[in-house]
Amino acid sequence: MSVKYTPVQWNPNKWVYDAVLLAIVAIYISVFLRLGAAEADVSRPIDGAVLRMRAFGTCAFFMLSAILCIGPLARLDDRFLPILYNRRHFGVLTAIVAWTHATYVYNWYFNFSQINRLEALLSSNTAFGQILGFPIEALGVFAFVILLILAATSHDFWLSFLGAPLWKRLHLLIYLAYGALVAHVALGYLQDTENPTFALLFSAAALGVVGLHVAAWQVGRMRSAKGEWVAVCAPGDIAEGRARIVQLGPKERVAIFRYDGNRFSAISNACAHQNGPLGEGRILDGCVTCPWHGFQYRMADGCAPAPFTEKVPTYDLRLEDGQLMVQRHANPPGTAVDPLAVTGMEATP
Amino acid sequence: MAADLIWAVQIYLGLGAVAALGFLGIGLDRIDENARGAWVFRPFLIPGILLIWPLVLFRWWQLERADTEDTEGQGRFRPPLLWQPRLALLLAVAVPVMILGAMVLRQDGPNEAPAQLIEPAQ
Ligand code: FES
């Protein structure tokens, strides 16, 4: 199967998602511009350009914090998964907001320098040896470059071209960027404001991010330590033609489908195309259909119907004390597994 | 120093532009069948190629050599994200330290007393 690349993938959900994001950014910026001036030290009033610069800078920081919260939230509770799927648009918007911030800095603080402005930005403070008065510009530039790389490589093409493992490793750079940004703000804006509002919001966001990561890590460890077979739910809890998604490891999800009334099969939740959530797909023509681009897989062996060649891993299932149990370790992609027929449930043809 | 750095960055981006031309013009069609005939999305790839062109050339070369679609095998279903928890935990230590440190070290401190210009009378 193949799907031609398009510049930006939009569907009605993503339109809504992006519209909500844009609205929040617009509200944040206008509120900051209205209230932010009062937050500054009265003895050092700031003017419009600096205020705008801070509005966009802090906005980008909070956006990045929100982005980093999405991953652990989705691991803690499946209901956050829909936000996860559109995270890339969120990231690109963050890079744009950060770009605006950087442009203000560049055009304001270094506008009257004798030398090239970029050169001035990089060389105006080189006191790397001290903590207070540390050249926060360098930290900002570092984080900004990472944001640019991640935004520029967020298109579907990059995921398939670099391959999922490499792409994900590249995108782990987000953590370094976030660390640098916390330092950038802590040694920069945080030093200037006398009013605790920003300090509180900033600390809450940053500590929230790390707190959620630690929590998700803990829960992930607890969840993955359950032995060879993992309990899913009672067979009747899964609606006909739908799936239950279960987390097996920190990054491994299995989708257990019910079909024909009393049959159950388990396949990887990650689509072979671009890791779309198969467990949220419908069953069409006896195949699971990926909600993202419509790739299909047979329930019995995880293979796409001929002439296509995509395969996903399957999992063994069994029934124990009225509970569906799924084998912790996946079978190689395309392995045939007989569906589990639960006696006592009504089969529908 | 800064001037040299800017110069190096310009060279890097210039080479990236050459790589982008070569890759979008020739390489893309050879290694990714989903891109064949799809032209509108290509300009969207330019910023990425400019920024990480050494990696792009490396992958291009790898894919040309492998000549198979599936170079990742089962690995893609269990991406080796060992580093994610490590980085997250590192961040969990570094962030509180940085915030606390910055608050404690504040240039003019939250509880700073006004400067005494005149010695108080005895
Ligand atoms: S069809 Fe594209 S991710 Fe499943």
Q: What is the pLDDT of residue A97?
A: 95
Q: Considering only CB atoms, which chain A residues are within 8 Å of B105?
A: 131-132
ipTM of the complex: 0.80
State yes or no: cis peptide before A307, omega within 30 of 0.
Answer: yes
Is B120 inside any structural domain? Answer: no
Which residue out of B76, B82, B89, B106 would a mutagenesis test of the A interface target, given it has the greatest number of A Cβ atoms within 10 Å?
B76
Report the candidate in A293, A308, A292, A328 with the shortest Cα–Cα distance to residue A85: A292
Q: What is the pLDDT of residue A175?
A: 93
- Predicted confidence (pLDDT) at residue B91 exceeds the cutoff of 70: yes
Both B73 and B86 in a single domain?
no
Report the candidate in A226, A234, A217, A255 with the shortest Cα–Cα distance to residue A76: A217
Both B102 and B74 in a single domain?
no
Segments forming the whole domain that contains residue B91: 79-110
Which residues line the pocket of ligand 1, CB cutoff 6 A?
A 271, 273-274, 276, 290, 292-295
Q: Using CB atoms, which residue from A133, A187, A213 is nearest to B91? A: A213
For residue A269, give the chain B residue with the closest CA: B77
Report the candidate in A217, A150, A152, A159 with the shortest Cα–Cα distance to residue A178: A150
Helices A196-224 and A173-186: angle between axes, nearest 10 degrees? 150
- Predicted confidence (pLDDT) at residue B70 exceeds the cutoff of 70: no
Q: How far apart are CA A231 and CA A256, in angstroms?
A: 11
Q: What is the 3-state secondary structure (H, E, C) of A149-181?
A: HHHHCCCHHHHHHHCHHHHHHHHCHHHHHHHHH
With CB atoms and an 8 Å threshold, state whether A161 touches B91: no
In this structure, the strands spanning A282-284 and A314-315 are unpaired
Arithmetic mean of pLDDT, B73-94: 72
- Name the class of domain A229-341: mainly beta
Contacts of B68 (CB under 8 A, 6+ apart): none
Q: 10-residue block means of pLDDT along chain A (349 residues)?
A: 66 82 93 72 63 90 93 80 79 94 82 69 69 79 94 86 82 93 88 77 93 87 70 85 81 86 89 83 85 86 84 89 86 85 74
Number of domains in chain B: 2
Q: What is the pLDDT of residue A68?
A: 92
Please check whether residue B66 touches A, CB under 8 A: no
For residue A172, give the chain B residue with the closest CA: B84
Both B89 and B41 in a single domain?
no
For residue B79, give the chain A residue with the closest CA: A165
Higher pLDDT, B46 or B78: B46
Report the candidate in A201, A14, A182, A275 with the shortest Cα–Cα distance to residue B92: A182
Q: Considering only CB atoms, which chain B residues are within 8 Å of A119?
A: 2-3, 6
Both B38 and B98 in a single domain?
no
Is B122 inside any structural domain? Answer: no
Q: What is the 3-state secondary structure (H, E, C) of A301-347?
A: CCECCCCCCCECCEECEEEECCEEEEECCCCCCCCCCCCEECCCCCC
User: How many beta-carbon pairs under 8 angstroms link A with B?
Assistant: 176
Both B36 and B95 in a single domain?
no
Both B68 and B17 in a single domain?
yes
* Burial tier of B114 (Cβ tally within 10 Å: 0-12, 13-18, 19+): exposed
Distance between A12 CA and the closest CA of chain B, angstroms: 20
Both B32 and B87 in a single domain?
no
Q: Going by CA atoms, what residue is nearest to atom 1 of ligand 1?
A: A293
Q: Using CB atoms, which residue from B2, B80, B106 is nearest to A122? A: B2
Which single residue is written with the structure tokens 């890339």? Answer: A88
Tokens at A195, concatenated: 């009013």
Both B7 and B61 in a single domain?
yes
Both B56 and B99 in a single domain?
no
Under 8 Å between Cβ of A20 and A86: no
With CB atoms and an 8 Å threshold, state whether A217 touches B89: yes
Both B11 and B50 in a single domain?
yes
pTM of the model: 0.76
Report the candidate in B39, B26, B100, B63 with the shortest Cα–Cα distance to residue A190: B100
> What residue segments make up the domains of chain A, in order of their start?
12-222, 229-341
Is B119 inside any structural domain? Answer: no
DSSP, res A268:
E
